[in-house]
A and B are shown apart, each in its own frame.
Chain A
């Protein structure tokens, strides 16, 4: 079942409906006629005039139906009123999903067919319908539908005019009542202006009022100089305003009767004048509403009744609204006892007229018993309400002793009391306070955090800035901008604005902006080094990074910029680079110097070698030369002796004998001294003893025999000499010739020796000059070197040669000599002063010529071995410089020879593989 919707103007509609006073009213003949007509014209058993109330439909007129009302939810008419201009037609409700399960369909009165036309008031509110209903499906023709439309219009007119008429008649009767009542305020005055009679109420207003008093004595008439002037205007009825001596105003309508005037007067109540001024109370005017109506009427009294009626209508509408409101309040106030909230009623005298149970506690809290004026917070407001200075309904929030209340104050003018409704909202306010406290705490925490973060950022030695997407500064730390004021200014400004402020040239600003935008677009972070000159004129370098917000991240909306002063690093780096460059230059220079040094050393080494060689040669030549000289000298001397005497005195035979003796194989040039002495003694004794010569002669001859190298056993020779003519001279001759022969030998040997030395030297020098490779015989080269180094050879070293005479190597002879001489020199030095041996071997092994130098000197330490070819590395103590082996290394490399060195105790072997 579809529930009927509420029309948009429901509130206004209901108001109007209520104002018509038609609900629950008695039957109306006119409206009954309409339903009769509807039923007969449409041919339906049921016709209704239904009015839709807030929660029901009530039937003002009905044909064929006993029920007087149904719930609005089931009402077809409730649907109908939603389209005020249209006919609501349901041909078969059982086929209509809106109504198929409607209780009025399924049960009594079985509404199967429905046709309803809304009753629309002049104001446009559809207050109900005129409808025709059947228990079976049917249709209506055009005439019937049009008829229903007309009937609905008529019903609207009837209802409205009835209301107006009723209203009017109500008003009239009210007026009559008012007039009746106002009779209590009448004043009867004669032509002369004497007060003939007056109503009872005057006693209250003017207690001293008596009959016979002149009107003019009592009252002042507005616009007229006295009563006589008033009655000069001949009008049957007029309205009169007058004041009494106390300046209290009255309004009256005056009737001219024969010889008398009847004034129906009432106090003119306004803001400035209260009933109490007239010594009257509200009780004196039971129909106070009508009184205001009456007064209003008086204001516009000269207008048309129609006008009045219309005005009355408006007033009554307003009043009905007010009535409703008051009704609602009355409802509340009718059972304030049951109101769970406090209700207190206070009278004009600030006395508590009434209070409900719930307010007891409140009153005691504010320590109020009867006198409400003790309620500080509200008493003033109440007074103002009574004085009419405020709107009739006021609200006030009061906090007291930790509790909070909302008070609604309503002034009931008709009863002249103020109702105060209270509602405690302490809990709510507490909650709110709590919440606001929490909020405060949260804010405080947040601001603390913010401060904390700000501090951290400020302490950072790096510049940090946050930008939003439009490149506006959202945050800058102290390091980036030191001046607090400037920082403040910058927040919210764009990068551009800041740059402009500093006077940065326009193109740089544009460039920078474009750069930033690019980064943000690409979403990639960038890093670059920026050079800038600070306020002190220093050039500083900054490493800057810009980190754009990550895409698709709603929380990460900021662009973060960092700047780090890396001047020191850059400067250090530059210094380092310079240093490196310098270092390279230094190294270059050093290398060049090294090369020169090398060259110098080589030269020096050569010179040293030459020097040593020279010394050796000098020595080697000295001896032969001395021998030759002395030998030659001796031969000359001897020959002189020979030619100056000896040779003349000897026979040829003697000469022959002497020569033979000389040539006689005795290679020994001299006898040992002791042997000589022995020989001499023996010869002498033989001569003396066997040959019976004189001692003197024997001594002389013995001398001569020894000098002639004749030994005592050589008897034949001795005889020969003794038998010569001049034995002494003969002996001298023999000696001389012997000497000559010996000296010639000596000279010969010496000369040979010299030749050898010179030959060695030639070989050496030749090899120094010629640089081409030749086939060098190993054995020859070794022997050569040994000869050259013979001066180095001391007696303690024995050299053992095991050289293959056939081994050759193709090399520059000088190189070969260098290698051998260096190795040998080092070997000599290694062996030192002790007895030692050197073995030099050559052989062929696996196609390579091997030359070995072994010495039994001290072992070369293991850690020194690898370094042994390094210049300046020597095992021989601080005084020795290992020049030689370095040269050897170079020669080995050039010729692609290998060397292996093994060293153990007493056996060090340098093995060269050529």
Chain B
């Protein structure tokens, strides 16, 4: 299969360890040839790369971000992302974010799903699957690796 990815999945977290383990988990779930997975340590980096991705006609359908980050916070990042990519599903992955803030973001439509650290792989997998389903893409992009759970 020589697929050029048509969709992208973005992950942002200031802790590289998190990005590493996320990478490990996602590449088990997803055919990386079909779905572009990018990992960034800061929202600024992410945004600039995201721009070049979309230039290549790749849809960004899923953003996974941390909340507490130096410089730009997760909230700010999502706000910008949602403005630029209205259809993107935003997921927040955070070790610290109070309910009110989360609710506020959800009510504003900035946040679709919130996952608290430490997270279960299954939860993560669910969100990805849902997004892929919704985007009406070939489900074969999704590699079901049941046994890895």
Contact partners of A622 in chain B: CB under 8 A:
95-96, 116-118
Contact partners of B96 in chain A: CB under 8 A:
615-616, 618-619, 622, 791
A670 contacts the other chain (CB 8 A) = yes
The answer to whether B20 touches A793 (Cβ under 8 A) is no
The answer to whether A674 touches B17 (Cβ under 8 A) is no
Residues in A604-632 with C-beta less than 8 Å from chain B: 615-616, 618-627, 629-631
Contact partners of B98 in chain A: CB under 8 A:
615
**Contact A673:B37 (CB < 8 A) given known A619-B95, A750-B17:** yes
Closest-by-CB residue of B relative to A792 is B68
Residues in B1-58 with C-beta less than 8 Å from chain A: 1-2, 4-5, 8, 13, 15-21, 23-25, 27, 32-33, 36-39, 49, 52-53
Contact partners of A654 in chain B: CB under 8 A:
none
* CB < 8 Å neighbour of B21 from A620, A630, A791: A630
**Contact A634:B21 (CB < 8 A) given known A615-B96, A625-B118, A795-B71:** yes
* CB < 8 Å neighbour of A793 from B27, B70, B72: B70
CB-defined interface of A671-682 with B at 8 Å, one 1/0 digit per residue? 011101100100
B73 contacts the other chain (CB 8 A) = yes
Chain A, interface size category, equals: 35 or more
Closest-by-CB residue of A relative to B56 is A674
The answer to whether B17 touches A623 (Cβ under 8 A) is yes
**Contact A631:B21 (CB < 8 A) given known A619-B95, A673-B8, A699-B2:** yes
The answer to whether B20 touches A703 (Cβ under 8 A) is no
Cβ distance B54 to chain A, nearest Cβ, rounded Å: 12
B69 contacts the other chain (CB 8 A) = yes
The answer to whether A670 touches B73 (Cβ under 8 A) is no
Kindly state the separation between the CA atoms of A742 and B148 in the bound complex, as whole angstroms. 19
Kindly state the separation between the CA atoms of A684 and B33 in the bound complex, as whole angstroms. 12
Contact partners of A746 in chain B: CB under 8 A:
16-17, 20-21
Contact partners of B94 in chain A: CB under 8 A:
619
Contact partners of A707 in chain B: CB under 8 A:
27
Residues in B67-117 with C-beta less than 8 Å from chain A: 68-73, 76, 94-96, 98, 116-117
Kindly state the separation between the CA atoms of A674 and B46 in the bound complex, as whole angstroms. 13
The answer to whether A626 touches B20 (Cβ under 8 A) is no
Kindly state the separation between the CA atoms of A627 and B21 in the bound complex, as whole angstroms. 6
Contact partners of B25 in chain A: CB under 8 A:
630, 634
Chain B, interface size category, equals: 35 or more
Kindly state the separation between the CA atoms of A672 and B11 in the bound complex, as whole angstroms. 11
Contact partners of A630 in chain B: CB under 8 A:
21, 24-25, 118, 121
Contact partners of A739 in chain B: CB under 8 A:
24
The answer to whether B117 touches A626 (Cβ under 8 A) is yes
Kindly state the separation between the CA atoms of A38 and B118 in the bound complex, as whole angstroms. 182
The answer to whether B70 touches A673 (Cβ under 8 A) is no
Question: Which of A618, A625, A677, A796 has its CB near the most chain B CB atoms (within 10 A)?
Answer: A677
Residues in B58-72 with C-beta less than 8 Å from chain A: 66, 68-72
Cβ distance A641 to chain B, nearest Cβ, rounded Å: 10
A691 contacts the other chain (CB 8 A) = no
Kindly state the separation between the CA atoms of A56 and B131 in the bound complex, as whole angstroms. 176
Contact partners of A633 in chain B: CB under 8 A:
121
Contact partners of A796 in chain B: CB under 8 A:
71
Kindly state the separation between the CA atoms of A626 and B66 in the bound complex, as whole angstroms. 13
Closest-by-CB residue of A relative to B52 is A674
CB-defined interface of A748-791 with B at 8 Å, one 1/0 digit per residue? 01100100000000000000000000000000000000000001
Contact partners of B68 in chain A: CB under 8 A:
619, 791
Kindly state the separation between the CA atoms of A735 and B5 in the bound complex, as whole angstroms. 22
Kindly state the separation between the CA atoms of A619 and B27 in the bound complex, as whole angstroms. 26
Residues in A645-682 with C-beta less than 8 Å from chain B: 669-670, 672-674, 676-677, 680
Contact partners of A637 in chain B: CB under 8 A:
148
The answer to whether B38 touches A673 (Cβ under 8 A) is yes
Contact partners of B116 in chain A: CB under 8 A:
622
The answer to whether A749 touches B17 (Cβ under 8 A) is yes
* CB < 8 Å neighbour of B36 from A677, A695, A749: A677
Closest-by-CB residue of A relative to B39 is A670
A77 contacts the other chain (CB 8 A) = no
**Contact A618:B95 (CB < 8 A) given known A627-B21, A796-B71:** yes
Kindly state the separation between the CA atoms of A110 and B138 in the bound complex, as whole angstroms. 195
Kindly state the separation between the CA atoms of A679 and B130 in the bound complex, as whole angstroms. 29
Question: Which of B2, B13, B52, B73 has its CB near the most chain A CB atoms (within 10 A)?
Answer: B2
**Contact A629:B17 (CB < 8 A) given known A615-B96, A619-B95, A794-B70:** no
A291 contacts the other chain (CB 8 A) = no
Q: A631-B20, A753-B15 are in contact. List 17 more A-B contacts (CB 8 A).
A: A621-B95, A623-B18, A630-B118, A634-B25, A672-B49, A673-B36, A673-B38, A673-B39, A677-B36, A684-B2, A699-B2, A707-B27, A739-B24, A746-B17, A746-B21, A749-B17, A795-B73
Interface residue ranges, B against A (CB under 8 Å):
1-2, 4-5, 8, 13, 15-21, 23-25, 27, 32-33, 36-39, 49, 52-53, 66, 68-73, 76, 94-96, 98, 116-119, 121, 148
A-B contact pairs, 27 of them (CB 8 A): A618-B96, A619-B94, A621-B95, A622-B116, A623-B15, A624-B17, A627-B17, A627-B20, A630-B118, A631-B20, A669-B23, A670-B23, A670-B39, A672-B38, A672-B49, A673-B5, A673-B8, A673-B36, A673-B37, A674-B53, A677-B4, A677-B36, A684-B2, A695-B2, A746-B20, A746-B21, A796-B71
- The 4 A-B pairs at the shortest CB distance, nearest first, are namely A622-B95, A619-B96, A795-B71, A630-B21
